[in-house]
Amino acid sequence: MREKIAEALKSALKLQDKRRVSTLRLIQAAIQDRDIANRGNGKDPVSDDEILQILTKMVKQRQESARAFEEGARLELAAQEREEIAIIADFLPKQLGEADVRHVCKQVVQDVGAEGLRDMGRCMNVLKDKYAGQMDFARASGIVKDLLQ
């Protein structure tokens, strides 16, 4: 994953795509920050799964910022945030559609043998393990909750 990001940065530098270069550098900085934090705690460098978590968090932050900019009538800044989201999303796995998320949630509830809300944590853990970076877990949580009630 790191190599893929580094290669993308090299090609963006050659093409002089300023927005892409700055966004890719932000991604690398976030990964390096997590590496430094892990080193301080005696952990290994960031894995690909952790990189996916970092990227997902970055997308979510930019979505919130874009929404705030739109509410504040700063459409040019909202557009910049959306451009960054598109660049970051290039490195994330394909997102599951609404119908697919519902199907996956039903399947996990059956596989876990969940019978009530007390089993929700187990279901969500399985979803996060199997589908990291492929769905919005806040939405999935609502679906699982509805299924368990």
Contact, 131 vs 96, CB < 8 A?
yes
pLDDT tens for each residue of 85-123: 999 989 988 888 888 888 998 998 888 888 888 888 888
Q: How far apart are CA 61 and CA 78, in angstroms?
A: 12
- The CB-based long-range contact list for 71-76 (8 Å cut-off, 24+ gap) reads none
Q: Is 115 helix (H, G, I), strand (E, B) or coil?
A: coil
Please determine, for residue 132, whether its predicted confidence score (pLDDT) is greater than 80. Answer: no
Place of tokens 């705030």: 68
Please determine, for residue 39, whether its predicted confidence score (pLDDT) is greater than 90. Answer: no
CA torsion 134→137→139→145, rounded to 10°? 130
* Structural domains in the chain plus CATH codes: 2-89 (1.10.1510.10), 98-148 (1.10.10.410)
Please determine, for residue 38, whether its predicted confidence score (pLDDT) is greater than 90. Answer: no
